[in-house]
Amino acid sequence: MNVKPNIGIVNALIRITIGLSVMSCASAKLVKRPWRQSNFIWVVLGAMKVAEGIVRYCPVTDLYRCGQERMKGNNGEDELFSVMVPHNPT
């Protein structure tokens, strides 16, 4: 697996800021009501956003780009479009 930075600096800073905000709000709620597991899930999701911002790698963005490259097919045409519409040589 080739892990290269696939998000920009500004995007990374936004992810870090939003992730820390989500983590702080969710952890404050988790202290008030420790039996609620949804707050713990929000803490984990916020931590994932902070980690993506620090590493500057987003697996969802990488999957999206990989899917777009596969959809291109041969000669830059969509595979689905070339299968659905027959080629007219005239």
Please enumerate, as own/partner, the contacts of 1-6 that have beta carbons within 8 Å and a separation of 24 or more.
Answer: 3/55, 3/57, 4/57, 5/55, 5/56, 5/57, 6/56, 6/57, 6/58, 6/61, 6/62, 6/65
The one-character DSSP state at 34 is: T
Is the CB of residue 34 less than 8 Å from the CB of residue 44? no
The reply to whether the predicted model has a pTM over 0.75 is: no
Chain-centroid distance of CA 1 in Å reads 16
User: Percent of the chain beyond pLDDT 70?
Assistant: 79
For residue 70, pLDDT beyond 90: no
What residue segments make up the domains of the chain, in order of their start?
Answer: 7-57, 58-90
pLDDT tens across 42-65, in order? 999 999 999 999 999 998 988 888
